[in-house]
């Protein structure tokens, strides 16, 4: 499922606020980044339908996360997790995705990128959930 995440990129978010390591943020990195993602998800809703939320949950379970824990997540928590997922991908592929404008051509041609993000024919940015 492709999910429109253009708002992530138009809100001047700092990916390291939502996806940071212990080396960067200290021993409480997970707690700090999770709380930042929860706080941001109060106003930035990227998963807008029940189907999108379910697609994220299915993707996370398929990736090895605990199904019971994932299925108990609220909509805000699901959005926060999705925000962290996008942020991690942006940080991983920052050579292309943290430029302004984004270097979509380089991103799509580089076989080392994660490749879940893409520019649609409508000039909106989409994130692919699924296998």
Residue 21 CB partners (closer than 8 Å, separation 6+): 29
DSSP alpha helix (H) spans, 11-119: 22-25, 29-41, 50-62, 67-71, 75-92, 94-97, 104-109
CB burial readout 61-80, b (16+ within 10 A) else e: eeeeeeeeebeebeebbbbb
Sign, CA torsion 80/118/107/112:
positive
pLDDT digits (tens, 9 = 90+) for 57-99: 999 999 999 999 999 999 999 999 999 999 999 988 888 887 7
pTM tops 0.85: yes
């Amino acid at each position: 499922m492709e999910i429109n995440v253009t708002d992530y990129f138009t809100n001047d978010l700092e990916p390291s606020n939502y996806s940071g390591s212990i080396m960067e943020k200290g021993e409480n990195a997970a707690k700090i980044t999770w709380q930042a993602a929860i706080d941001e998800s109060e106003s930035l809703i990227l998963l807008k339908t029940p189907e999108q939320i379910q697609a994220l949950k299915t993707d996370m379970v398929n990736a090895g996360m605990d199904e019971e824990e994932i299925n108990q997540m609220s909509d805000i928590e699901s959005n926060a997790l999705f925000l962290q997922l996008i942020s991690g991908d942006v940080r991983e592929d920052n050579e292309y995705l943290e430029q302004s404008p984004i270097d979509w051509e380089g991103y799509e041609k580089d076989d080392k990128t994660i490749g879940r993000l893409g520019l649609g024919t409508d000039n909106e940015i989409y994130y692919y959930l699924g296998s």
